[in-house]
């Protein structure tokens, strides 16, 4: 997120002096920074808990042992890493923009891991949609092609592609010092990356990682919807049809949430790599406050969406947490009590 994030506290000098010393040097005015921090901390807590729960449920539940759960568990790992490696450092930079004291390695890994997790998420959604397309439109081939071992191998490939694609960011950012004073050290794109145009190229690559998969998802869901409509009209909808429809519904919800949460992020990057005056710079600061929160919302909201859309997921969580057994015991006690009262009469 940070390459297209808040750029400099100097933009806000028109609003009045801000605290900036070795202990505190915020990128934003405190009136904006405090509520943003509160929202991000809430997203961090719920995101960590929800994604860990998703990994545990998909790994332990027999009802969820299928290829779709493998994708969801891997996606949860990606979201978990994004929250753990990205959000704390983004908050640190918002409150202490300079000097950057965490070193060059942390600076580079921070940007690289954020990009890699972003690529990984969209690749997972695209691959899962492609699998659903094969399973619905070519069910006989799917039985041969879509197996747990092949899906696990594909997930390894997706992670490798995402990590490799984001690798240039390890060399495009670093700790730069504007003057002789160590206080001016910041974790920013290097001068070489800016002057050679490599930074702009990689930002356009990131945008392509968003636009091209979205077009692919649009086409695949159109084909899937047409096939499900044919099956429905032919009165062939059974258990398999209902399961496919529920999975596709969940996918659509996940993809819509992903697009809504990530679109402002990419709009901010497009503004960032195009020339702009001071007014546009001022606007992008507040726009990226909004984009930052949506960016991490995308990594926190998926477990909530699983609960809302998937009955199997809800049932698996209830079983894992012992809620179902508690309800059964409560109903048994209620029945026994009612029977006892009736006998007493």
pLDDT per residue over 164-197, tens digit each?
Answer: 999 998 888 888 887 677 777 888 888 887 778 7
Residue 236's pLDDT is: 52
Residue 176's pLDDT is: 83
Locate the domains of the chain by residue range: 2-309
Reported residue count of the chain is 345
Kindly report, residue by residue over 258-307, the tens digit of the pLDDT: 888 888 888 877 776 665 666 666 677 778 888 888 989 988 998 888 77
Average model confidence (pLDDT) across the chain = 78
- 22 pLDDT higher than 80: no
Q: Could you tell me if 285 and 7 are in contact, meaning their C-beta atoms sit under 8 angstroms apart? A: yes
Residue 75's pLDDT is: 92
Kindly report, residue by residue over 153-172, the tens digit of the pLDDT: 999 999 999 999 999 988 88
**Higher pLDDT residue, 9 or 241?**
241
- 332 pLDDT higher than 50: no
Cα–Cα separations (whole angstroms), residue 3 to 42, 63, 94: 23, 42, 13
Kindly report, residue by residue over 57-114, the tens digit of the pLDDT: 888 877 777 888 899 999 999 999 999 999 999 999 888 878 888 889 999 999 999 8
Is CATH 1.20.1070.10 the classification given to domain 2-309? yes
- 198 pLDDT higher than 70: yes
Residue 331's pLDDT is: 41
Residue 52's pLDDT is: 93
Kindly report, residue by residue over 5-17, the tens digit of the pLDDT: 444 444 444 443 4
Question: What is the average per-residue pLDDT within 234-245?
Answer: 59
**Higher pLDDT residue, 221 or 110?**
110
Kindly report, residue by residue over 110-141, the tens digit of the pLDDT: 999 989 998 999 999 899 889 988 888 888 88
Provide the percentage of residues in the chain whose pLDDT is more than 90. Answer: 21
**Higher pLDDT residue, 331 or 38?**
38
> Which of 147-151, 182-186, 274-278, 325-329 is predicted with the least confidence, judged by mean pLDDT?
325-329
pTM: 0.83
Residue 42's pLDDT is: 94
């Amino acid at each position: 997120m940070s390459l297209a994030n808040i750029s400099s506290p100097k933009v806000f000098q028109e609003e009045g002096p801000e605290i900036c010393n070795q202990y505190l040097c915020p990128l934003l005015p405190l009136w904006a920074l405090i509520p943003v921090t509160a929202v991000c901390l809430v997203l961090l807590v719920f995101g960590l808990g929800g994604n860990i729960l998703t990994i545990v449920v998909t790994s332990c539940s027999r009802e969820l042992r299928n290829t779709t759960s493998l994708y969801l568990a891997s996606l949860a790992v990606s979201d978990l890493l994004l929250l753990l490696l990205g959000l704390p450092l983004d908050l640190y930079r918002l409150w202490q923009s300079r000097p950057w004291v965490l070193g060059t390695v942390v600076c580079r890994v921070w940007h690289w891991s954020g990009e890699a997790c972003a690529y990984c998420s969209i690749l997972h959604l695209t691959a899962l949609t492609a699998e659903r397309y094969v399973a619905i439109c070519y069910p006989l081939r799917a039985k041969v092609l879509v197996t747990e071992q092949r899906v696990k191998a594909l997930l390894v490939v997706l992670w490798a592609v995402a990590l490799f694609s984001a690798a240039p960011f390890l060399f495009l950012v670093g700790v730069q010092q504007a003057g002789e004073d160590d206080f001016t050290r910041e974790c920013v794109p290097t001068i070489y990356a800016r002057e050679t145009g490599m930074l702009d190229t990689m930002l356009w690559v990131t945008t392509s990682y968003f636009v091209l998969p979205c077009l692919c998802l649009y086409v695949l869901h159109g084909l899937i919807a047409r096939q499900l409509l044919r099956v429905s009209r032919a009165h062939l909808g059974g258990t398999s049809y209902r399961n496919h429809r529920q999975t596709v519904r969940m996918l659509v919800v996940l993809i819509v949430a992903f697009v809504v949460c990530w679109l402002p992020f990419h709009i901010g990057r497009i503004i960032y790599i195009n020339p702009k005056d001071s007014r546009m710079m001022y606007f992008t600061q507040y726009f990226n406050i909004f984009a930052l929160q949506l960016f991490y919302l995308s990594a926190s909201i998926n477990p909530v969406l699983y609960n809302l859309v998937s009955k199997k997921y809800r049932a698996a969580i209830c079983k894992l947490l012992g809620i179902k057994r508690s309800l059964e015991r409560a109903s048994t006690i209620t029945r026994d009590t009612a029977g006892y009262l009736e006998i007493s009469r």
